[in-house]
Structure 1
Amino acid sequence: MFDEIMGLPAHPLLVHAAIVFVPLLALVGVIHVLVPPLRARFSWVLVLLSLIAPVASWMAKESGERFERRMNAKGDMPPDLAAKINVHQDHGEKMLWFVCALAVVALLFVALDAGRRRANANVGPAPAGGEAAAPPAARGRMIMMIIFGLGVLALAGLSGWYVYKTGDAGARIAWSGF
């Protein structure tokens, strides 16, 4: 599966899944963190993308490694091309780690938000004459949501940057006429 798809090298075909799903995961993660009214309605999208994007990235990485082995087997790879491939491969591995971290942190954020909404649904009206104090668990959950939200924002940026760097390095290899 990672070598060929219908006689064509799999890597140039499979990378497009990562090119689509990783930026989507980053974008939906950022929107999910920054636009609270949309969270309840679209959490499932973030969960789905958190499952798909790392798999797409892994498949792109695996097919790239097979593609490199296939090219090395011919034995005539110029050293400058090998150096460019190593840079591309390094960016792709970093992207995979950042995407996996983004997926985990985004899933934790979704779980914390679902717990917050569930806890808020179970809280009765405020006592007469004032606002009810937030229980310690609610304050702790909010602090964790802030921390994980900042993590989602940072990892979304890093994932997006490495999708760009990986794709740029790969495109330069493909279009340099090696």
Structure 2
Amino acid sequence: MIEIAGLPAHILLVHAIVVLGPLAGLAAIVYAAAPRWRPYLAWPLGVLALGLVPAALVTAQAGEQLEKSRPATAMIRAHAQQGDVLKIVSIIFFVFVAAMIVVSFEPIGRRFAFLGPLRENRVLRMVLLVAGALAGAFFLYQSVITGHSGASSVWGR
């Protein structure tokens, strides 16, 4: 089992997901819905989305090791299933955020000049902005649901 300062790593790492996950999801929604905020949100959102992928994977790995060291209950199994979903959702979220930023934020988009016609397609841009906002909403939801199921499994509610 992975430990940090004698504590199971999962219980420490999970805080990155339950705090930064909803924040990133909300930022993706604002980015898609409010064009004037894009210059302020593009870099932080991209970095958060990228960073949350390994954070979710490492947290899940530490959680699986913790699960093996403790008696399994129905609540822990439910939390583990939610964690498996969150791993996938974090990857999907990153892909949509990256695509959304590439087509809608010029300082980053110009680095992908080979995508020229795709980046200039208004319909594609709108589809990716809507998909990015939906991915953000789902990532926010899944982060909260996974965190809640984990807290419930520990605190017994």
Correspondence for 1:114 = 105
Structure 1 SS opposite 2:121: helix
Shift of 1:138: 7.7
Counterpart contact for 1:88–1:166, Cα < 8 Å? yes
Q: Which runs of 5+ in 1 are unaligned?
A: 72-76, 120-136
Describe the shift of the 1:153–1:63 C-alpha distance in structure 2 as closer, same or farther (beyond 3 A). same
Counterpart contact for 2:10–2:66, Cα < 8 Å? yes
Residue correspondences, number: 152
Higher helix proportion, which one?
2
1:116-151: CA deviation from partner (whole Å, max 9, x where unpaired):
9978xxxxxxxxxxxxxxxxx489521111111111
Correspondence for 1:97 = 88
Describe the shift of the 1:89–1:138 C-alpha distance in structure 2 as closer, same or farther (beyond 3 A). closer
- The answer as to 2:2 corresponding to 1:11 is no
TM-score (norm 1): 0.76
Aligned-residue identity in percent? 25
- The answer as to 2:113 corresponding to 1:167 is no
Letter in 1 for 2:77: N
1:44-102: CA deviation from partner (whole Å, max 9, x where unpaired):
1111111111222112111100101122xxxxx2xxx5221111011111112112111
Counterpart CA distance in 2 for 1:90 and 1:109 is 28
- The answer as to 2:48 corresponding to 1:68 is no
Letter in 2 for 1:34: A
- Structure whose alpha-carbon radius of gyration is higher: 1
Shift of 1:42: 2.8
Root-mean-square deviation over aligned CA pairs = 2.4
Counterpart contact for 1:21–1:52, Cα < 8 Å? no
Counterpart CA distance in 2 for 1:94 and 1:138 is 30
Shift of 1:24: 1.5
Letter in 1 for 2:36: P
- The answer as to 2:125 corresponding to 1:145 is yes
TM-score (norm 2): 0.86
